[in-house]
Amino acid sequence: MCGLAGFIGSQKHFPTEKKIENCKRSLFRRGPDGNGVYKNFDKNKKVLFIHTRLSVIDPRKNSNQPFSDDSGTLIFNGMIYNYLELKKKLKKKGIRFKTNSDTEVLLKLLNIYKERSLKYLDGMWSFAYYNFKDNNIIISRDRLGEKPLFLKWNKSNLYFSNSIKALYELDKEKLIFNEKKVKEFLRYPDKSLGLDNSTLFKNINEFKKAHYLKINLSNNKFVYKKYWKLQVSQKKTSYNKACIDLKKKIKKIVTTRSRSDVKNCMLISGGLDSNTIAAFITNKQKTLGYSLISSSPEYDEKKLIQISSKKNKFPTTFIKPRNKNSLKILFSIIQNSYNILPTTTSLGLALICNKIKKDKNKVLLTGIGGDELFAGYYVNFLAHLLSIKKDKTKFKKNYSFWSKNVKIFIRNKFLKELNNPLIKKYKYDLNSYIDLSLNKYFKKNKKMKIKKISNDIFYNNMLQNILYLSIPTQNYQNDLISMHYSLESRSPFLSHHLMDYMYSLNKDYFMYNGVPKSLLRYAMIKNLPKQIYNNFEKTGFYSPFASFFSLKDMKKIKYYLLNSNILKKTLNFKMLKKLMVKKTKKISHQESKFLFACLNLAIVEKTVQNIN
C-alpha cells in the first residue's frame, strides 16, 4: 500500500515545489518507508508523479517509486497477487529484473502489453504509468475498487490522487460541499458512497472501478474505458462439484493473498468468512488474530472466536470499543484525509488497526466480500425467497428452513414478514427499503436511487450490494482506516476469479435446500468447527454510538452537532436534538449509525472551514 498523486497539464498550472512537498507530506501515513517524485517538462503536456511507499514486498530501497526503466515510469498503490506467476512468463520472453517487487513486474507488463495488461492482473490497485516511447499515460483502478483514486479537472489540467487531502494540496482550490452527496450520506451512511462517482466535494470525483484512462500527450486524445464486467451465466455444474472446486479456488486465492515479506495478521469473527481464510492462511505460526468485542450482548461473538482461535492455532487479541482516545482518533483520520468514516464499525476497525500498528504488523487480511459473494445477509435470503415464489415446491422447502432456522435471529422488523405489502413494492430495492425508520430526521425524504441490474430479484439484490452499496462502502472505509495506520489490508473474497465463478453457478446453490451461504458452508465442512459451521445467525459487529466515547467526549460531540451549519441546513434539527438526549438503550441500530454520520460530517465541516 502506498500514497500516490499526480498532475498532467500545462506549465502555467504545474504545482509549485511547496505544493508538491505538502502533497507528499500529506501522504506520509500511506507510505512512511520511502518517497519520490518524477517530473517531465519535455512534451506538450507536463507530467508530475508523486509517491510514498509502504514496503511489504521487497522492502529494499531499489524497489521505491516512481519506478522507472528505459521504457516508462510507474507509481502504484496496491498488490499484484499473481506477480510471481507473471514474472515467470515475462522471464521466458527475455525480460530481466533488478528487484523482487510486484511493482517491477507491473511496469514490465505495461511496457509490453499497455492497457491489455489489465486482463492478466489478479490484485488490487490504483496506478499511473507513463510510456516514454509512445508518449501515453495510463491510469487505472482495480476491478472492485479496493484501492481509491480521485480525479479533479481544472482548466484542462488533470489532478489525481488516492487521497482527497493530497489532491487539495496539489491544487489548493477551495473545497465546496456537494449537497446532494451530503444528504445521501446522512440518509444512507453505509450504502451511499458507491452509488455514483461523486464525492462529498464538488469537482472531485472517484475514478470508476474496473476502468482505465489512456491519455496521448502528443495529440491530447483520451480513452476512458471499462475493462471488466461481472456476468451472470449459470453454467451446468453439479452442486457437489461446485463445492469441491470452490474450496480449491479459495485455498489458492488465500495462499496468494498471504504472500508477504513481513508478518501477517487478520480480523477474526465467529463467522464462516474469516474462519475460511484462517483455515488456509500460510505461516500460521507467524499470524496474529484481532477482534473487537461489542458492548452489546446480542453481538458478542467472543466464545465462537475463542473456539476459532484454538482450532487455527494462533492467538487472538480482543479490543474493547470504549477508548479514551476514540474522538481524537476520529478527528485524526478525518483531518488526515478530508473524508468520513461511514459507520461505527469503521471506528471499531480504527481501534483494532491502532493496536495492530503498535504491535508492529504491516499486513492485515479481512473477510470483506464474503457475505456479498456467498449471500450471507438476511436481505439476500429474503430476495432469494421472493425470486423462487412461483416454484411452489422449492419455495415451500426453503421458506420452511428460513422460518425455523433463520427468522428467529432477524432483528429488523422490515425483514421478518414476507407478506408485508411494502416488500412487494420494494422487491427490486430491498436494500434501501429496510432503512425507512430514519425518515423523521429529514426535512425532505428522498429515496435512494439504485440502478436495477437484473430482472431476477435475487441477482438484482446481490449485484446491487457488490457493485453499488455494501462492497464499495466497505472497501472505502477499509482502505481509509488501514492506510491511516500504514497497514496493507487484503480481502481474499474480492477476487474477480471467485466472483466470476460464483456467478457461473446455479442460482439455487446460494441457498441450497434453504441453507444460507450453503456453497461456502458445505465446501468448508471439514475445516470449520461445528459450532461455527452450524450457526445460522448473521451476527456482524455492532456497538452503539455512545459506547465508543467517554462522557466528556459526548459533551464535545453534542457541541459539534449543535453548531454544524450543514446539519441545520439538511436535517429536521428538532428531531436531531431529541435523539441526542435519548437514552442509549432506546437508540436503534439505524439511529446509532445516523448519529455517527452526523458527527463525521460536522468534523469534516470544521476541518474544511479551517483550510478554506
Q: What's the pLDDT tens digit per position in 437-461? A: 788 899 877 777 888 999 999 999 9
Written in H, E and C, the secondary structure of 324-359 is CCHHHHHHHHHHCCCCCCCCHHHHHHHHHHHHHHHC
The segment with the largest mean pLDDT, out of 69-73, 424-428, 432-436, 552-556, is 69-73
Instruction: Give one DSSP letter per residue of 108-164, joined into a string.
Output: HHHHHHGGGGGGG--EEEEEEEEETTTTEEEEEE-TT--S--EEEEETTEEEEES-H
* pLDDT the model gives residue 539: 64
Which of 396-400, 444-448, 501-505 bottoms out in mean pLDDT, i.e. has the lowest? 444-448
Judged against a pLDDT cut of 90, whether residue 313 lies above it is answered with no
* pLDDT the model gives residue 385: 94
Which of 36-50, 336-350, 406-420 bottoms out in mean pLDDT, i.e. has the lowest? 406-420
* pLDDT the model gives residue 185: 93
Judged against a pLDDT cut of 60, whether residue 110 lies above it is answered with yes
Instruction: Give one DSSP letter per residue of 164-216, joined into a string.
Output: HHHHHHHH-PPP-B-HHHHHHHHHSTTTSTTSSSB-SBTT-EEPPTTEEEEEE
Q: What's the average model confidence in pLDDT over 156-170?
A: 96
* pLDDT confidence band for 284 (50 / 70 / 90): low
Q: What's the average model confidence in pLDDT over 69-73?
A: 96
Distance CA 500, CA 95 (A): 31
With 0-12 / 13-18 / 19 or more C-beta atoms within 10 angstroms meaning exposed / middle / buried, residue 360 is exposed
Neighbours of 241 (CB within 10 A): 10
Distance CA 15, CA 10 (A): 10
* pLDDT confidence band for 259 (50 / 70 / 90): confident
* pLDDT the model gives residue 43: 67
* pLDDT the model gives residue 296: 63
* pLDDT the model gives residue 387: 95
* pLDDT confidence band for 53 (50 / 70 / 90): very high
Q: What's the average model confidence in pLDDT over 47-54?
A: 95
Bigger pLDDT: 12 or 447? 12
- Whether the predicted model's global pTM rises above the 0.85 cut: yes
Tell me the pLDDT tens digit for each residue of 166-221: 999 999 999 999 999 999 999 888 889 999 999 999 999 999 999 999 999 988 89
* pLDDT confidence band for 542 (50 / 70 / 90): low
* pLDDT confidence band for 359 (50 / 70 / 90): very high
Q: CB within 8 A of 409, min separation 6: which ones?
A: 378, 536, 537, 538
